[in-house]
Chains A and B, each alone.
Chain A
Amino acid sequence: MDELKDVILKYVNAEYVEEGGDPVGFDTPLISGGIVDSFSMVSLKRFIENKYKISIPDDQATPEAFDSVDKIVVLVRRFTKT
């Protein structure tokens, strides 16, 4: 679980935080905080799906579900086959 969190956090900081900008933490609001807008969320969803070989239905891919690294981890675990 820790590795999952770390991987996602690293990706978000690399892709969505401007160089030299303040890095986000595990619970930083991403969507409601304006760091990842609704269009960019599509690329974040694509990363998650590619990386963890899951498919997140559109009705589950809500701004609320993607609003922090912690919340994204919950989503990944829900759709990851054990």
Chain B
Amino acid sequence: MANIGSYEERVNGFDWSVSEKELGYKPGDIINIGWYCSDRICRQGKADKIALHWEGLGGAEKHLTYNDIRRASNTIAAFLQSLGQAPGDRICLFMDRVPELYLGVLGVLKMGGIGQPLYSAFGDESLYVRLENAETSAIITQRKHALKVRKILDKLPHLKHIIIVDHDGKSPLRDREVAFSLEKAAPVEDFDSYPTTAESPSLLHYTSGTTGQPKGVKHVHYSLISQYLTAKWVLDIREDDIFWCTADPGWVTGTSYGLIGPWSLGVTQCVLDGGFSAEAWYKFIEKYRISNWYSAPTAIRSLMKAGDKIIKNFDLSSLRNLASVGEPLNSEAVVWSEKVFGKAFLDTYFQTETGSIMITNFPGMKIKPGSMGKPFPGITATVLDPKAYEPYPETGKIGLIAIRPGWPAMMRTYWNNEETYQKKFKNGWYMTGDRASIDKEGYFWFVGRDDDIINTGGHLVSPFEVESALIEHPAVAESAVVSKPDPINMEVVKAFVSLKPGFTASADLDLEIMNFIRKKLSPLAMPQAIEFVESLPKTRSGKIMRRILKAKEWGEEIGDTSTLEND
């Protein structure tokens, strides 16, 4: 039977104390996520249990026990302290999915710092915006990524240390750089984790919005309470399971469920640092006998595209619980996984701001392919009438997904942006920015975003960020960025561009602009389609009417054009 047992019984009279008791936490106690994910597990007698099976490029492998990760995170924490890093300092982790990334997050948490994991494919501009906003005081990175930091260093007066974990001595360290190697450092056996409490800040995850620059979502150590329980009841993680979360810790899924969830449960997890390949992924599952697999619709659709025949080459019988996150999982993917793996992928829904799973399908519960599922016990979710911000009394109507504030992992603010944070709440509800309907059995059905944000491959991209970067290209006069449907990524970025005099549209310019954005912002933000236009549709007051461009891309009704400026 699944860990959750009966959903209805769990929902009745639910209280988060069920999670607190399992973790041995009482309100008012010290709670440090880094300690819970390593030291506590060792104290439970699992010091020699494998915490991490890691595989990287060129066949590199590492297999670390809970005692190894306890000691390594102590060593990192002590090193950060020796540099003068203090509790509350923002410490960025900007690495590929190497062990130092995961151990570094634990180390930062143990010394009371605020971890700021960032996706290592970010270009220097995306990196700068996030480091500047957080006034980050240290960044732990690899030598290949340190080059991006060097480009922006003179604009970051708060950044005191660039800690390079794989310095090879071939070139000298530059200004503010320091080398640190876990292999060479003297291991720190005992480290007193900083006495963080429930509301002590733990992590800062950056998320893109429709307007303005990305926002730093502040999470606290108490988020552990819902991350632990959702990992146990939704991902159905048990004592002897082998877990694989494919998400990068630069995104909230990769920390909430690629680190905190499994390690607070004391389970063995696997990390594959490499690009996507159906064969490599199936081989990885077979090799480690992975039982619980948490991935994303884009990856699942890529696996579908790779075909069913290849699956027959591998023994995937170890798989027991499959789940998906990041964007809605289309029903075809659910039906396909049941056919080829004997199990349906469970669609789960949450956001950077919510910190843990909110609405989800559960093991053992009837699945309606294409549905988001039902609220996690303790979560009051509804769909609001967008005019009155009140729940619809009847089912079947499309409205705004909203959640009653107060669950443990709820964000506490946007960094230095309390005003924008307060706007996320209306009429006593947290507004997700997504739209859905609820059917008669209480299942939620996702419809789309309520704003212009683009969700590509499960990651949010801001049209504003991309447009701002586009006009920095010498050829671009104006641009408008919208989403375009894509069979694998659900949506991709499309840019409409008008050129400055003297520039001519061409295939070469198209590619040049694509690469410009890819390197400046990230591969996710790179427009996968560029359409050169004479002018952009605007209102008489000069505002670009993105929704007309988007409607055309999606084959939808354009709607009211009465405010459109005439040629």
B-binding residues in A (CB < 8 A): 15, 18-21, 29-40, 42-43, 46-47, 50, 59, 62-64, 67
Determine the chain A residues whose CB is within 8 A of the CB of B277 once the complex forms. 31-32, 63-64, 67
Residue ranges of B at the interface with A (Cβ–Cβ < 8 Å): 57-58, 96, 121, 143-145, 147-148, 171, 273-277, 279-280, 298, 302, 305-306, 456-457, 488, 507-508, 510-511, 514-515, 518, 523-524, 526, 528
Q: Please measure, in the bound complex, the distance between the C-alpha atom of A21 and the C-alpha atom of B148, giving whole angstroms.
A: 12
Shortest distance between the CB of B313 and any CB in chain A (Å): 14
The 3 closest A-B pairs by CB, nearest first: A39-B523, A32-B277, A40-B523
Are the CB atoms of B273 and A34 closer together than 8 Å? yes
Residues of A with C-beta under 8 A to B507: 46, 50
Say what secondary structure dominates the interface of chain A.
loop
B275 close to A63 (CB less than 8 A)? yes
The complex places the Cα of A62 from the Cα of B280 at a distance, in Å, of 14
B171 proximity list for chain A (CB < 8 A) = 20
CA–CA, A36 and B298, complex, Å:
17
Is B147's CB under 8 angstroms from A19's CB?
A: yes
Given A18-B147, A38-B276, A46:B302 Cβ within 8 A: no
**Neighbouring A residues of B511 by C-beta, 8 Å:** 43, 46-47, 50
If A18-B147, A20-B144, A34-B57 touch, whether A46 touches B276 (CB-CB below 8 Å) is no
> Which residues on B sit within 8 Å (CB–CB) of A42?
514, 526, 528
Contacts of A47 on B, CB cut-off 8 Å? 511
Return the contact of A46 from the options B58, B143, B144, B510 (Cβ within 8 A).
B510
Contact A46 B514 (CB under 8 A): yes
In the assembly, what is the distance between CA of A21 and CA of B58, in Å?
A: 16
List A contacts of B514 (CB < 8 A): 42-43, 46
Give complex CA distance A73, B195 in Å.
58
- Find out whether the CB atom of B518 lies under 8 angstroms from the CB atom of A32: no
Chain B residues positioned under 8 Å from A20 (CB to CB): 143-144, 147, 171
Determine the residue in chain B with the shortest Cβ distance to A21.
B144
Residues of chain B within 8 A (CB-CB) of A39 are 456-457, 518, 523-524, 526, 528
Contacts of B57 in A (CB 8 A): 29, 33-34
> Least Cβ distance of B354 to chain A in Å?
25
Cβ–Cβ contact A63 & B523, under 8 A: no
Q: Which residues of B contact A35 (CB under 8 A)?
A: 275
Question: Can you list 11 A-B pairs with a CB-CB distance of less than 8 A?
Answer: A19-B147, A21-B144, A32-B274, A34-B274, A38-B298, A42-B526, A43-B511, A50-B507, A50-B508, A62-B306, A63-B302
**Chain A contacts of B148 at CB under 8 A?**
18
Query: Whole-angstrom distance between the alpha carbons of A64 and B511 in the complex?
Result: 22
Centre residue among A31, A43, A62, A64 by max chain B CB count within 10 A: A43
A53 nearest in chain B by CB position = B507
In the bound complex, CA of A63 to CA of B275 (Å): 9
Whether A33 and B274, one on each chain, are in contact in the complex, defined by CB atoms closer than 8 angstroms, is yes
Residues in B with CB closer than 8 Å to A37 are: 121, 275-276, 523
Q: Complex formed: what's the CA distance from A35 to B144 in Å? A: 12
Query: A38–B302 contact, CB under 8 A?
Result: yes
